[in-house]
C-alpha cells in the first residue's frame, strides 16, 4: 500500500465525515444563533432556552437525513471492502 493510497483513503474518509455531520451542525448553528439573538433582545438568560431547541432541531435533522446518511455510509463501506484486494498488494 503506497502513501498516496493511504492519503487518498484518509481524505475520502474525512470528506465523508464532514459531509455526514454538516446538516446537523449547520442547523444547530442556525438555531443557536437565532436563540442567542432572541435571548439578547429579550434579556432572558435561561440555559434551557438555548439547549432544548438545538437538541430538537438536530434530532429532527438526523431523522430527516437518516436515509441519505445510511446510503452514503453503505456506499463508502461497500467501495472500501471491494478495494481491499487492491489495497493489500
- Per-residue pLDDT reduced to its tens digit, 27-60: 999 999 999 898 889 888 877 788 899 999 999 9
Say which residue, 7 or 48, is predicted with more confidence.
7
Residue 18 — pLDDT band, cuts 50, 70, 90? very high
Domains contained in the chain, number: 1
**pLDDT score of 5:** 87
Q: Which domain holds residue 25?
A: 3-88
pTM of the full structure: 0.78
The 3-state secondary structure of 37-84, one letter per residue: HHHHHHCCCCHHHHHHHHHHHHHHHHHHHHHHHHHHHHHHHHHHHHCH
**pLDDT score of 3:** 86
Amino acid at each position: 500500500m503506497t502513501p498516496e493510497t493511504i492519503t487518498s483513503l484518509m481524505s475520502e474518509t474525512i470528506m465523508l465525515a464532514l459531509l455526514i455531520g454538516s446538516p446537523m451542525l449547520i442547523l444547530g448553528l442556525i438555531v443557536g444563533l437565532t436563540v442567542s439573538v432572541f435571548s439578547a433582545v429579550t434579556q432572558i438568560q435561561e440555559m434551557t432556552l438555548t439547549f432544548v431547541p438545538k437538541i430538537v432541531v438536530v434530532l429532527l435533522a438526523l431523522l430527516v437525513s437518516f436515509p441519505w446518511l445510511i446510503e452514503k455510509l453503505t456506499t463508502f463501506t461497500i467501495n472500501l471492502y471491494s478495494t481491499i484486494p487492491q489495497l493489500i498488494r
